[in-house]
Structure 1
Amino acid sequence: MGSRAHSWLVGTAFDDSAIDDAVADLVAGEKTWAHTPLRRRRELLDDIHTRTGRFSHEWVRAARTIKGLDPDSPLVGEEWMSGPMPLLQATAALSATLTALAAGRSPLDGVALAEAPGERVAVPILPLDRYDRLLLSGFHGEVWLRPGVDADTARRRAGLAQLDPTVTGGVGAILGAGNITSIPPLDVLYELYAHNRVVALKLNPITDPLYTVFEMVFAPLIELGVLRILTGGAEAGGYLVQHADVAHVHMTGSMRTHDAIVWGPEGKSGGQPLLDKPITSELGGVSPTIVVPGEWDGADLRYQAEHIATQRLHNGGYNCVATQAVVLSAEWPQKDRFLAELRDAIERAPRRRAYYPGSDDRVAAALDSYPDAERLGPDHGRLLVQNLPTSATPLLRTEYFSPVLGVVELPYTGGEFLQRAVDFANDEVIGTLGVNVIAHPGTIKRLGTAFDRAIERLRYGAIAVNAWTGLVFLTPRASWGAYPGHTLDDVQSGIGVVHNAFLLDDVERTVVRGPFRPSPRSLLRGELALSPKPPWFVDNATAAATGRMLTEFYATANPARLPGLFLSAFRG
């Protein structure tokens, strides 16, 4: 969930000899990695899993310090659920993949592949076991492969570089994110296991307080000589990515930072990229949420308004898939009531510090463009911009990476609204990382294949129906990245994917679906959802305790922890 600090553009002093030494260690370590068998690679994952659980409290303490969160704030739950918890899930999922490969099996053996619209293969990723069904009841997810890839090919290619672990890919440089603390560790695992590249990870300066935690968590890889963790600012990053012995670069950040790395200070006008090696990236964008008109009751209106407030304000708004544009039907009879609930949800969301560099400046820039925007929240620092133009307006072309939310109204109803909204999201909004669609179950049923076709036509790497694409980030076997097809000349939300613990080839997108209503209303209406409010909602009163308990459960898989976890979740 991409970082937006322009640390690349802010020079700081650095020691190039430290980078040279680290890269030299990795050049030697590549040979070690090539001779590390699958069984040992799985053991390393299991060791990292154990160490992540052991040091999770130190991890969250450092993250809380970075973000200025009160120790007793429910918002600390975000740091549990987007910090150590995803790494625990990823190491367990990758370990299962390595176990299958070491036994000569495909990671997809025993997985019932399905069909997705457009003659695609769908790989189920959620739920996969009884704990998924309990902890994420009502949520479902699939990875869709590109058209033309059949089930046999999917099974045969699953495993990527681990199908022949002796063929390594050189030294990979990772420029880490500064917003979500699990991003750099997850990127390290993907470079090592999906691509067989040993890794030089340069932390974003914002996350330097996590340096020691990451050293402790990844000690087995550091001791093996296949990982080095570096600090420093722009100059250090520039030296690292241009290093002669670095074969590949992966970064999380903004399009602006990406283009500075690839094209240099002169930009694309120079003609030839400054970077002479491959680069993959996750760059965010302007994420839309499409609200399909229907007949909702008052509780539905309130809950989905809180849902969208969370999509914008989780982590203070500093997420690459934070909703920035809400797309509504101008003809929806309940539109005004919904907007009133949305305004109230944004106003009531907990106070928090604007910890991410440049946030206030970006809010000010949005105010310059939209002086009539409503200023909401305890500090009046959250902007709600209504009646946006449907094209050629800054909010649809600029990722503000701050608590700025716009509303676009399209003059259509029913199925026509949905199809026009899909066109709008595809053509008018910059970026292709994530899109959300909220629709009443009765509306989905009434639209039938037209709804399925609309989901298929969305050109996004993550699609969430009655859920938030942040859940895709948290699901270890989901793919995470832009819709395929971007180039260095028009990079949009980036190139390539990460996470993807099945190590699937030919990935196109991940689609998740959630319950329209929480429990108990969901149970009364035939939806199997046990949670009264997902723990990632910004107004969940027990998010800190639930996040900690979830992390502790994923560290041990001890079912004795479940009763306390459920009690905390139900009180949220």
Structure 2
Amino acid sequence: GRSPVDGFPVRPAPGGRTAVDVFPHGAYDWLLLNGFRAEVWSRPGVTAEDLRARAGLGLRTPRDTRGVAVVLGAGNIFSIAPLDVIYQLFADNRVAVLKLNPITDPLLPVLEKIFAPAIERGFVRVITGGAEVGSALVHHPDVAAVHMTGSAATHDAIVWGSGDEAARRKAEGKPLLDKPITSELGGVSPTVVVPGRWSRADLRYQAEHLVTQRLHNNGYNCIAAQVAVISADWAQKDAFLAELRAAIERAPARADYYPGSAGRVRSARAAYPQAQIIGGRTLIEGLRPVDSEQALRTEYFAPVLGVVELPGDTGEFLAEAVRVCNREFIGTLGMNIIADPRSIAELGAEFEAAVEQLRYGTIAINAWNGVGFLTARASWGAFPGHVLADIQSGVGVVHNALLIEDPERSVIRGPFRPAPRAVLNGEFTLSPKPPWFVTNRTQATTMRRLTDFAKRPRISALPGIFASALRG
């Protein structure tokens, strides 16, 4: 008789939308990621009353079961597949078959242990196999729906087939797959760096922030920042780029474990003679904001970072960056904005209008949009509007733990500086350098302690977490 949104602040958002504050929620959220916030925006025209009344999705009609779903698991971030299964169970009232990506086959016994209660009751099966197993599953007559995480090319092979026959089907609008499919497919994620007056420490920290957005998991993330968009007229542009190169050099080396990575890196380097090889990674400066630019239209899914320069200072630059991100980049899964609080205050309503105009499923301001993935209460998926014939970053959402009907986007906000430097500059946040930064020296210890805390939340564990985090 209640809405899952009850207990969460709901307020108006730009453009006739309604926003739900989904993070922090409770004292532990506030303490562990102090200064970070996440909100889910409805589509335009949805009132707070509508949003509350419609939240719940499949749980509103628990007797209306909706058949069997196939979940084709991702091979890069190992929480994706189980989260996608959970969404099928709760949001759609479906039982689920999870077909693991072969990279994650060693996790089969772990996932079977995690899902043991559901497996024993016949709600979940976890299986392994190659492309032929996946194809047999998605086309099985007893399967009602499909969800996948992967590339647009894999999606199109499932939906349309391959070769000339696939082209014919797409032209005629007659997909090979005759059942609903939702998807999360990545794309080319930009990070917009708004010019400001930064200290040397700010330049170094935000360069590390941008490098983290690219090199976390060695770039094998669907929302790894692939292109930085900066102002050509920024007085500190050269200083920032120098810090960026240095941060790439400092970042620890990671194994090129994801299939095809080396080939995609070679392709990027061949396309751009100006590419710099720094510590085994690739930095490409001098990109142009046009749709023929390979780096804006091809998801490298590898340790390759590009830089686009646009004219203008602050407001003029931001308006042009919004236009370029919306029109020239392929994909709409997520993007980031880095801007110091003084610039945000100077821009005022102009800044919030830019956030509204961006067409991305997750927009992170002074945070990496991976934080949106981190809290499952936020929605996760492409900006609405893609179709099967032009799928880009996919259709539908996952996570969305408040089961909000048809969310449009999630907006994440974080501190521009870490503590204690933030407090000295008027930002009241207790968060040190986040543990997901690739340059964080204690990230492994901090994340192990956070994982243990998630298993058994207790006040006595907090001092150890804070002590490790502050040494990062």
- TM interval, shorter chain, is over 0.9
In structure 1, what is the Cα distance between the partners aligned to 2:54 and 2:405?
6
Task: Please state whether the residue corresponding to 1:240 is helix, strand or coil.
Answer: helix
Does the 8 Å CA contact 1:535/1:543 hold for their aligned counterparts?
yes
TM-score under structure 1 normalisation?
A: 0.81
CA distance in 1, matches of 2:40, 2:118: 29
The residue correspondences of 1:104-143 to structure 2 (distance < 5 A) are: 104-143=1-40
Match of 2:264 among 362, 376, 379: 362
- Corresponding residue of 2:467: 567
Measured in 1, the distance between the counterparts of 2:46 and 2:314 equals 33
Aligned length: 466
More helix by share: 1
The 8 Å contact of residues 187 and 333 in structure 2, kept in 1 or not, is answered as: yes
Verify: 1:445 aligned to 2:357, yes or no: no
Deviation at 1:526, TM superposition (A): 1.7
Give CA-to-partner distance per residue, 1:151-194, whole Å, 9 cap, x none. 11111111110011110111000100000000000000000000
Deviation of 1:371 (Å): 2.1
Matches within 5 A, 1:223-242: 223-242=120-139
Aligned partner of residue 186 in structure 1, secondary structure? helix
Aligned to 1:277: 179
1:372 is matched with 274
Counterpart CA distance in 1 for 2:400 and 2:73 is 18
TM-score, normalisation: structure 2: 0.98
Match of 1:334 in 2: 236
- 1:111 shift after superposition: 2.2
Runs of 5+ consecutive residues of structure 2 not aligned to the other structure: none
CA distance in 2, matches of 1:346, 1:420: 27
| Residue equivalent to 1:249 | 146
Determine the C-alpha separation between the residues in 1 that align with 2:449 and 2:161.
Answer: 46
1:239-269 per-position Cα deviation (integer Å, ceiling 9, x unaligned): 0000000010000000110000000013333
The question of whether the paired residues in 2 share the 8 Å contact of 1:113 and 1:124 is answered with yes
1:434-474 C-alpha deviation (Å, 9 max, x unpaired): 01000010000000000000000000000000000000000
SS of residue in 2 equivalent to 1:106: coil
> Identity rate of aligned residues, in percent?
62
Contact 1:461 1:482 in 2 (8 A): yes
Match of 1:494, SS state, is coil
For 2:317, which of 417, 421, 424 is the aligned residue? 417
Question: 1:528 Cα deviation (Å)?
Answer: 2.0
Counterpart among 332, 354, 370 of residue 454 in structure 1 = 354
Aligned residues of 1:137 and 1:528 also touching (Cα < 8 A): no
For 2:121 and 2:270, the matched residues in 1 are separated by: 52
The residue number in structure 1 matching 2:109 is: 212
Q: Does structure 1 residue 185 correspond to structure 2 residue 82?
A: yes
2:29 is aligned with what amino acid? D
Q: Which runs of 5+ in 1 are unaligned?
A: 1-103
What residue in structure 1 maps to residue 363 of structure 2? 463
Q: Which residue of 2 aligns with 1:495?
A: 395
Aligned to 1:324: 226
RMSD, matched Cα: 0.8
Instruction: From 188, 191, 202, give the equivalent of 1:300.
Output: 202
The amino acid across from 1:441 in the alignment is P
Counterparts of 1:133 and 1:227 in 2: how far apart (Å)?
34
Take 1:516 and 1:384, find their aligned partners in 2: how far apart are those partners? 24
The DSSP-based 3-state class of the residue aligned with 1:402 is coil
Confirm or deny: 8 A CA contact 1:346 1:376 kept in the other structure. yes
Give the Cα–Cα distance (whole angstroms) in 1 for the partners of residues 239 and 215 of structure 2: 21
| Corresponding residue of 1:169 | 66
Mapped partners of 1:117, 1:360: distance in 2: 43
1:386 and 2:288 matched:
no
Equivalent in the alignment of 2:434: 534
- Describe the superposition over 1:6-27 as per-residue Cα deviations: whole angstroms up to 9, x where unpaired: xxxxxxxxxxxxxxxxxxxxxx
Amino acid at match of 1:105: R
- Counterpart for residue 67 of structure 1: none
With a CA cutoff of 8 Å and minimum separation of 6, indicate the structure with the bigger relative contact order: 1
